[in-house]
Amino acid sequence: MTDRELDVVGIGNAIVDVLSHAEDDFLVEQGLAKGTMALIDTDRAEALYAAMGPAVEASGGSAANTIAGIASLGGRAAFIGKVSNDQLGGIFRHDIRAAGVKFDTEPSVSGVPTARCLILVTPDAQRTMNTYLGASLELGPDDIDADLVGNAQVTYLEGYLWDPPLAKQAFLKAARIAHQAGRKIALSLSDPFCVDRHRAEFVELVKNHVDILFANEHEICSLWQVDSFDAALQATRGHCEVAALTRSEKGSVILGNGEVHVVDAVRVGKVVDTTGAGDLYAAGFLFGLTGGRDLYECGRIASLAAAEAISHFGARPETPLAELVLAELG
């Protein structure tokens, strides 16, 4: 793959998801805010896991889900992220490579376990996430493969990388390399609480460094500290070449080339689990963009990929997305 141009390289926390059904009462008992991601330490991870019901394990991580989605669409993609050399790390590595993604980051040998995200899916299909970062905390600038980043049309970064201090440095190194090579930087704001934790830095990034921005309604409102979607939309204009703002079942709004596009959501028979919806939206969008599609088409592919993600348990595609797109858009 190294001798061909890559479409997208993603950098993110390498996480195995532990998914379980839960009632709303359980979230209340555990003091969890529905639909968001909280960082947890070892003790809390053990206590919460002990209280959770039976679970299934599946490779996850926001940017990693996006990259797996791009590969499923037929794109050329690579991932940079840190697992440990334990069983969950082996599962993560297997799954992302089996999806067709180049993944060669050296695993941690410090003994700190692979990151996991305890995800509670309530009967309304919302997911509430609790992340133990583990070995992800060790991702640093040395893990950034300059050839890989220089060779990719887009380097995609998750906002969650701002939480582990070394990863932020890795993020900035990658952004520098990409821009020096004339490439684009894409960022997902990841989570409204993540935006709260790092607002000043995110505003500076969005204004000065990010070419392609992904955010949902809650995140973009939090970024600009406004309370309506329209206010957030107006605040975003003039920053970034392209911004894709998602609104769940209300679809998405895309800013770019001085235009505004409004894209409807793709209807799903039954929403089973919203885990990965935003990640797969970004996958579809970036696949379209790096394939030379116009912004409206990018939004359509993004919406198709997000609809597939919410129709089943877990965040990685179950149906080859290239076939879905071919059937819908040709």
Of 156, 107, 99, nearest to 136 by C-alpha is: 107
CB of 52 to its own copies, least distance (A): 6
Both structure tokens of 147: 């050839």
- Shortest distance (Å) from residue 19 CB to its own copies: 9
Query: CB of residue 18 vs its own copies: minimum separation in angstroms?
Result: 8
DSSP string, 177-203: HHHHTT-EEEEE---HHHHHHTHHHHH
31 CB neighbour count, 10 Å cutoff: 7
For its own copies, the closer CB: 57 or 294: 57
Q: Which is nearer to its own copies, 19 or 265 (CB)?
A: 19
Q: How far is the CB of 1 from its own copies (least distance, A)?
A: 18
Between 17 and 297, whose beta carbon lies closer to its own copies? 17
- Residue 314: CB minimum distance to its own copies, A: 6
Q: Which residues of 104-114 are buried (b: 16+ CB within 10 A; e: fewer)?
A: ebebbeeebbb
Residue 280 CB, nearest approach to its own copies (Å)? 14
- Cα 221 to Cα 213: distance, rounded to the nearest angstrom: 14
Nearer to its own copies by C-beta: 60 or 159?
60
Residue 108 DSSP SS3: strand
Contact residues for its own copies (CB under 8 A)? 21, 49-50, 52-59, 68, 86-88, 91, 94-96, 98-99, 113, 313-314, 316, 318
C-alpha dihedral over 287, 220, 81, 281, to 10 degrees?
-30
The amino acid at 307: A
- Sort strands 37-39 and 127-132 into parallel, antiparallel or unpaired: parallel
Among residues 92 and 281, whose Cβ is nearest to its own copies?
A: 92
Nearer to its own copies, 24 or 86 (CB): 86
